[in-house]
C-alpha cells in the first residue's frame, strides 16, 4: 500500500465516528452483506459515512490490507475496525453495537 493511500484511508477512518467501506452506497447497497450493515446502522438511527469500494479500485484493495480483513463491507467505529456484516449482526443482536456506537458518538 502506498503512503498516500494509507493516509487517505487513515483520514476517512479517523474523521468519521462511523465509517463503512462497502459495495455501493447507503442509499443503494450493491450486495447483500453491505445492505445488512446499512439496515443495522439505519435501525440504530445513527449518523455514518460510506465509501463505495466499487467506485475506487485503490480503496477496494487497500482497505483489505489496512485492516488485515479479506472481505467487504468493513465497519470502523471511533477509528477502530469492528468487522464485517456477520460481526455487526452478532454485535447488534447482543446489544453491544448500540452501546459501542453511543460511546463513539459521545466522545
Per-residue confidence (pLDDT) for residue 34, from 0 to 100: 97
Q: Which domain holds residue 63?
A: 3-106
Note the pTM of the prediction, 2 decimals. Answer: 0.94
We report the CATH number of the domain holding residue 79 as 3.40.30.10
In angstroms, the CA 1 to CA 96 distance is: 32
* pLDDT, position 15: 95
pLDDT at 1: 87
**pLDDT tens sequence across 60-93:** 999 999 999 999 999 999 999 999 999 999 999 9
Q: How many domains does the chain have?
A: 1
Summarised one tens digit per residue, pLDDT across range 30-50 is 999 999 999 999 999 999 999
Model confidence at 98, in pLDDT bands (50, 70, 90)? very high
**pLDDT averaged over the chain?**
95
pLDDT for 107: 84
Residues 6+ apart with CB under 8 A from 29: 22, 23, 35, 37, 38
Asked if 33 and 84 count as a contact pair (C-beta separation under 8 A), the reply is: yes
Amino acid at each position: 500500500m502506498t503512503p498516500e493511500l494509507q493516509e487517505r484511508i487513515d483520514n476517512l477512518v479517523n474523521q468519521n465516528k462511523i465509517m463503512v467501506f462497502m459495495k455501493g452506497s447507503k442509499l443503494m447497497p450493491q450486495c447483500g452483506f453491505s445492505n445488512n450493515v446499512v439496515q443495522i446502522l439505519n435501525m440504530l438511527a445513527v449518523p455514518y459515512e460510506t465509501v463505495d469500494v466499487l467506485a475506487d479500485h485503490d480503496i477496494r484493495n487497500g482497505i483489505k490490507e489496512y485492516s488485515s480483513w479479506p472481505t467487504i463491507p468493513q465497519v470502523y467505529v471511533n477509528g477502530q475496525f469492528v468487522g464485517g456484516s456477520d460481526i455487526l449482526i452478532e454485535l447488534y443482536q447482543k446489544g453491544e453495537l448500540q452501546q459501542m456506537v453511543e460511546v463513539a458518538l459521545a466522545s
